[in-house]
Amino acid sequence: MFFFDVHTHKRSSSKNIFSIENKYPNATDFTKPFSIGIHPWFIKPENVEKELLIIEKKLKEDNCFAIGECGLDKITETDFELQKEVFKKQVELSEKYQKPLIIHCVKAYQELIEIKKELKPKQVWILHGFNKNYQVAESLLKNGIILSFGTAIIKNKKLQEVVSKVAISSILLETDNDLNIDVKEVYQKISEIKKITVEELQQKIKQNFKSIFKK
């Protein structure tokens, strides 16, 4: 059975790991399953329209599983109003092509929820690399946003407490840009926290994956 890694910047050589590789509009290799989006760190006003056209073209490909990562980040230098504008345009593409949205969010959870309430999207939103407290997790979950947990879960005790309270039906797993940890280790830690076998967790995450990505 597969281990699903829904957001990664590396290519796995393991045959039983199914990865969704994060791609930017300037990428050239789209041979493996991927997501594509404009990250708030890399927004250049003069490139936005061109990059949105590239994203729209790539969203039509069979290998494209999601749009993202995209989102909101209050500690980057990119103008926040511009970030919101570019994010909303990617939400529109998510809806048009019926692809889930993989979201990067730093210190802007309330604004993210406000945009979701405003736009009322039908596609699933996935908050990747979640590492905040349960109050934030609960707020996101109440607003229909799925949480993806990464390698921080292995050593972060507070995050482990959060995971213990979140239903498995509302989570996905990932490695993001951590080159040293395999997604199987993330599965192992989550299974320990949830007191189930790795095989049981694989089955549950597979169900989540199939439901969200329609693949």
Full residue range of the structural domain in which residue 179 is found = 3-213
Residue 188 CA to residue 169 CA, distance in Å, equals: 17
Task: Tell me the residue type at 21.
Answer: E
Domain count within the chain: 1
For strand 101-106 and strand 125-127, is the pairing parallel, antiparallel, or unpaired?
A: parallel
CA 144 to chain centre: 14
With a threshold of 0.85, does the pTM exceed it? yes
147 by Cβ neighbours in 10 Å (0-12 / 13-18 / 19+) ranks as buried
- Whether 8 contacts 22, CB under 8 Å: yes
CA distance to 9, 81, 95, 183, per residue, from 48 (Å): 22, 14, 19, 32
Residue 103 β-bridge partners = 70, 127
CATH of the domain at 114: 3.20.20.140
For the segment 54-92, what is each residue's pLDDT rounded down to a tens digit? 999 999 999 999 999 999 999 999 999 999 999 999 999
Task: Tell me the residue type at 203.
Answer: Q
| Six token digits for residue 193 | 């926290």
Among candidates 212, 209, 184, which has minimal Cα distance to 199?
184
Is 90 exceeded by the pLDDT of residue 1? no
pLDDT band of 145, cuts 50, 70, 90: very high
